[in-house]
Homo-oligomer: A and B are copies of this chain.
Amino acid sequence: MTTIENGVRNGVDTATLFATIDAVKAAPAAAQFQFRASNRWISGTHSQSTIHGYFGVGEERTHDHVFAYDVDHPTVLVGSDLGPAPVEYLLHALAGCLTAGLANIAAARGIELTEVTSTVEGDIDLNGILGLDPEVRNGYQAIRVSFDVKGDASAEELLKLVEQSRKRSAVFDVLTNGVPVSIEVNAA
């Protein structure tokens, strides 16, 4: 049996979720968002980003907290291991995006989830970034996601949640299809 209190299922406020979708349907410009990260180099391969402000629903906004994250290379790659490698954050982003979508979709479909865990693996051949083999790309050659999903629905219905989340995942789209990235430099 699915228990819903005040329209909240899986921690998702479904009434607000549907109201938000309706609001965007009525005013599509509200859906224009800009996200940002600011990074400061510390030493060697170690830097730190802060994530706070963003634009959305027609105005400048801030997260409730200033989020700050260290990034580094492991010692075996001549770093100080003071944070995950940049490419590891990509795997985290993918897991977080697919999982958030899954919870939303389950809530919308009246499915109560009891457990969702995932592991994401990425294979990379560093002969690319080290410039040792021009045939090897710099980035991951493949990424694999493995989900364990439990809830009050059939295995088939749970599988379909992941499939629908994949179809609507921003990070999955970026990682599989790519995005134009421009870089400008102010050097002094």
Report which A residues bind B (CB closer than 8 A).
10-13, 16-17, 20-21, 24-25, 28, 31-47, 49, 51, 54, 56-57, 61, 63-65, 67, 69, 71-81, 83-104, 113, 115-133, 137-150, 155-156, 158-159, 162, 166, 168-188
C-alpha gap A77/B187 in the complex (Å)? 37
Inter-subunit contact A44/B12 (CB<8 Å): yes
A174 to B174: give the CA distance in the assembly, Å. Answer: 9
Contact of B78 with A20 in the complex, beta carbons under 8 Å = yes
The answer to whether A96 and B71 touch across the interface, beta carbons within 8 angstroms, is yes
Distance from A135 Cβ to chain B, minimum over Cβ atoms (Å): 11
A97 CB to nearest B CB, Å: 4
B32 x A125 contact (CB < 8 A):
yes
A124-B178 CB under 8 A given contacts A130-B21, A172-B138 = no
Q: How far is the CA of A108 from the CA of B107 in the complex (A)?
A: 53
**Chain copies in the assembled complex:** 2
Chain B residues within an 8 Å CB radius of A173: 128, 137-139
Q: Which of B35, B54, B86, B131 contacts A93 (CB 8 A)?
A: B86
Q: Known: A155-B188, A172-B138, A184-B144. Contact between A118 and B38, CB under 8 A?
A: yes
The residue from B51, B121, B148 contacting A88, defined by CB atoms under 8 A apart: B51
Check A179–B116 contact: CB distance below 8 A. Answer: no
A31's partner among B96, B132, B148, B185 (CB-CB below 8 A) is B132
Task: Please indicate the chain B residues that have their CB under 8 angstroms from the CB of A130 in the complex.
Answer: 21, 24, 31, 168
Shortest beta-carbon distance from A9 to chain B in Å: 9
A180 to B188, CA, bound (A): 39
* Cβ contact of A127, chosen from B31, B45, B127, cutoff 8 A: B31
Q: In the assembly, what is the distance between CA of A152 and CA of B41, in Å? A: 16
For A175, list chain B residues within 8 Å (CB).
Answer: 174-175, 178-179, 181
